[in-house]
Amino acid sequence: MLFSSTIFLFLFLPTVLLVYYVLPRTFRNGWLLVASLFFYAFGEPRFALLMLLSVTINYFFALFVDFYRQHVGVKWIMFSMIVVNLGLLGWFKYSGFFVRSVNESFGLSWFVPEVVLPLGISFYTFHAMSYVIDIYKGKEAVQKNPLDLALYIAFFPQLVAGPIVRYNTIASQIECRQETVSDFARGVRRFTIGLSKKLILANGCGQVADAVFNMKDLSMGLAWIGIIAYALQIYFDFSGYSDMAIGLALMFGFHFLENFNYPYISKSVSEFWRRWHISLGSWFRDYVYIPLGGNRVSPWRQYRNLAIVWMLTGLWHGASWTFVAWGAYYGVWIMLEKAFLGRWLERMPVVSTVWTLILVLVGWVFFRSETFPEAVMYIQAMFVPDVLWDERASYQLVQNGVLLLVACIAATPIPKYLGERVVVSLGKIGTTMQYGYAMLMLFLATSALVASTFNPFIYFRF
């Protein structure tokens, strides 16, 4: 089930909320777990079993790690845990890609498994691994109650698209939390803003990006319109989903950490990654980069560590060489910034923002393109075009110019800043407007959702 679906919005969510608040506190976690499993099983019931398997395995791994903490064999338990988790993830997400790559590289014709990717497997695998690692590091006490652990991994707001919530962030909240009307109202606001980001801005920009990326012989103008639209689509899609997750969690009294912080105003690639998908970046930092030695090793090893982290970051996003290249691309820029570029960029704030934005846009070309030749052709159209402008670019600009402009402004802190100023200066009227705005966004987002299924049948067109 998706947050941006009518069944979720008008049946699942109100039912779960009502029952949750009617039930005595003792049963609330149980109810959330049942609701989360239904949420996940809706549409793909068989994969719910896979997720439960992951929960069960990691529950026992954590118990063993805790029990054998002082024993020398604990490292083997950790090793097994990593192998099992990455093995599951690897089979479902990367097996086809791996065999295809081997076949292409060595001219073989091994059988390529057609494995369906279970929804959210990358997220819940990382949730589960971080739990066992945190227990190993002694950051949290082991969870004896398997249902509470299952709730941590399967909690529906963060189950299918993150953010990657660390166990230590919500361990105490699972045991004991205080739901308040203040949190609920803030949750509603956050959720509706996320919903409208996704349904109005991301989907609108997505239509432009899809249209452009499906065209051939792009003019320079069209190529830039297409990649700007895609950058906005992916930002509003993902940050909108994170907003919805954070908002939903607040409605149930959970406090998640932020996952986005206006990444497109960054002054360097390193800063971009401190503002984009923060929970993934910090996961790789804490569970890969730092264990490899982080910054406390020789410069050469630091660069090696960065290379490993960024290749993995690329691969995490998808099983394709274009994703690996995308990760490597960022790795290279971050290394250059670490070496010397960062110091240069610090001296020129405006130039560095524009420079970073261009680098990020070029990066998105790799992320969006199916193949390398497609990506190269697209970048060629952006920088060394055959044609500067054409009618298709005029069409996109006339049709979607205002949408793209609104989205560009919404991707900066300006609306939030202005909104807060208005609310503070208008007092009670401002407060009323703020909450009214949330309801307006709910209606507009619902309208966009329903309109996306508007399917007029126009008989034979003559």
Partner 1 sequence: MEQPLMKTQQETNQTPSFDRIMMWVTTVSFILVLLTIGLGTLVREDRVRSQLENRTLAQSVEPTVEGIATGKDMLKMETYFTDQLLLRGTFVEIQALLSKDVFRQPFRNGIYTAKNDYMIEPSASGNVKIPQAFKQFVGEVDRPVYMALAPSKTVIAERDKLIPSYVASNANERYEKMVRDFQAAGMTNLSLQGLKLSDYFKTDHHWNIDGATEAYQVITKRMGLSTTLPETKWRKEDQHAYYGSLARKTTLSYAASGDRLDYYAPAFFNGIDVCYEGKCGRPVIDESFVKQEGDYVDRYEVFLRGNHDIMSMKSAANRNRPTILVLKDSFANPVLPLLAKSANLEIVDIRYVPKSFDVSRFAKQKQIDSVLFLHNSNIAGLMKTYEDKL
Of residues 169-188, those binding partner 1 (CB under 8 A): 181-182, 184-186, 188
Of residues 318-347, those binding partner 1 (CB under 8 A): none
Instruction: Choose the binding region for partner 1 from 60-68, 223-231, 354-362, 436-444 (rule: CB under 8 A).
Output: 436-444
Of residues 248-267, those binding partner 1 (CB under 8 A): 250, 255-258, 261
- Amino acid in the structure at residue 44: E
Q: Which of 6, 409, 437, 407 is nearest to 207 (CA)?
A: 407
Decide if 317 is catalytic: yes
Catalytic residue among 71, 127, 277, 317: 317
Distance CA 317, CA 173 (A): 29
Q: Which is nearer to partner 1, 46 or 216 (CB)?
A: 46
Q: Does residue number 411 form part of the binding site for partner 1 (CB under 8 A)?
A: no
Whether the CB-CB separation of 51 and 124 falls below 8 Å is answered with yes
Q: Does residue number 285 form part of the binding site for partner 1 (CB under 8 A)?
A: no
Q: Does residue number 4 form part of the binding site for partner 1 (CB under 8 A)?
A: no
List all residues 6 or more positions away from 438 whose beta carbon is below 8 Å from its beta carbon: 188, 189, 192, 193
Distance CA 231, CA 318 (A): 17
User: Percent helix, strand and coil across the chain, each rounded to 5?
Assistant: 75, 0, 25
Among 284, 328, 392, 411, binds partner 1 (CB under 8 A): 392
Question: In the numeric block, which tokens belong to residue 258?
Answer: 């932020």
Of residues 96-155, those binding partner 1 (CB under 8 A): none
Least separation in angstroms between CB 108 and partner 1: 33
Q: Which is nearer to partner 1, 209 or 448 (CB)?
A: 448
Q: Which is nearer to partner 1, 100 or 177 (CB)?
A: 177
Q: Does residue number 412 form part of the binding site for partner 1 (CB under 8 A)?
A: no
Q: Does residue number 427 form part of the binding site for partner 1 (CB under 8 A)?
A: yes
Task: Supply the DSSP string of 220-273, one letter for each residue.
Answer: HHHHHHHHHHHHHHHHHHHHHHHHHHHHHHHHTT--PPP----GGG-SSHHHHH
Q: Which of 455, 13, 446 is nearest to 198 (CA)?
A: 446
Least separation in angstroms between CB 260 and partner 1: 10
Q: Does residue number 229 form part of the binding site for partner 1 (CB under 8 A)?
A: no
Active-site residues, by number, are 317
